[in-house]
Amino acid sequence: MSTAATTPATTPATTQAPGPAHAAVTDTATRDARRPAPSPIPFSRLLLVEARKMVDTRAGLWLMVGIAVASVLASAAVVLWAPDSMIDYSSFSTAIGIPMAVMLPIIAILSVTSEFSQRTGLATFTLVPHRGRVVAAKLVNAVAVGVLGMVVAAGVGALGNLVGAALVGIDPVWDVSFALFSSIVLGNVLGVLVGFMLATLLRSTPAAMVGYLVYGYVLVGLTTMLASVQEWFADAQPWVDFNFHQGNLFEGFPETGEGWAQLGVTAVVWLVVPLALGLWRLVRAEVK
Partner 1 sequence: MIVIDGLTKRYGGHTAVDHVSFTARPGRVTGFLGPNGAGKSTTLRILAGLTPATSGTATVLGRPYHRLPNPGREIGVLLDASAQHAGRTGREILRVAAITMGLPRTRVDEMLDLVGLTQDEASRRVRDYSLGMRQRLGLAHALLGDPDVLVLDEPANGLDPAGIRWMRDLLSGYARDGGTVLLSSHLLHEIEVVADDIVVIGQGRIVAGGTKEELLAGTGTLVRCADTARLAESLAGAGHHVEHVDPADAGAGLRTDADPTTAGLVALAAGLALTELRTADGAGLEEMFLQLTAQTQRDAHARETAGAAA
Q: Contact region for partner 1 (CB under 8 A) — 56-64, 88-96, 179-187, 229-237?
A: 56-64
- Cα–Cα distances in angstroms (integers) from residue 43 to residues 49, 132, 135, 136, in the given order: 10, 11, 11, 9
Q: Smallest gap, in angstroms, from Cβ of residue 142 to partner 1?
A: 18
User: Which CB sits closer to partner 1, 107 or 176?
Assistant: 107
**Between vectors from CA 224 to CA 251 and to CA 227, what angle results, nearest 5°?**
115
**Among 148, 156, 144, 147, CA closest to 94:** 156
Q: How many residues bind partner 1 (CB under 8 A)?
A: 59
Closest CB 285 distance from partner 1, rounded Å? 9
Tell me if 162 sits within 8 A of 155, measured CB to CB. no
Answer for which of 9, 26, 85, 222 binds partner 1 (CB under 8 A) is: 26
6 binds partner 1 (CB under 8 A): yes
- Contact flag: residue 32 with partner 1 (CB under 8 A): yes
Q: Is the dihedral of CA 188, 194, 197, 203 positive or negative?
A: negative
Q: Does 123 bind partner 1 (CB under 8 A)?
A: yes
Residue 204 engages partner 1 in binding (rule: CB under 8 A): no
Question: Of 35-43, 153-161, 219-227, 255-263, which segment contacts partner 1 by CB under 8 A?
Answer: 35-43
44 lies in the site for partner 1, by CB under 8 A: no
Query: Among the candidate windows 10-18, 85-93, 194-202, 217-225, which touches partner 1 by CB under 8 A?
Result: 10-18
Nearer to partner 1, 239 or 280 (CB): 280
15 binds partner 1 (CB under 8 A): yes
Q: Quick one: 9 or 151, whose CB is closer to partner 1?
A: 9
Question: Is 119 an interacting residue with respect to partner 1 (CB under 8 A)?
Answer: yes
Q: What's the sign of the alpha-carbon dihedral 138, 260, 240, 247?
A: negative
Under the criterion CB under 8 A, does residue 31 sit at the interface with partner 1? yes
Stretch that binds partner 1, among 31-39, 66-74, 141-149, 212-220 (CB under 8 A): 31-39
User: Which residue's CB is nearer to partner 1, number 121 or number 216?
Assistant: 121
Q: Cα dist. 194→125, 141, 222 in Å?
A: 23, 14, 18
Q: Provide the binding-site residues for partner 1, judged by CB under 8 A.
A: 1-8, 11-12, 14-19, 24, 26-32, 34-35, 37-41, 45-46, 48-49, 52-53, 56-60, 114, 118-123, 125-130, 284, 286-288
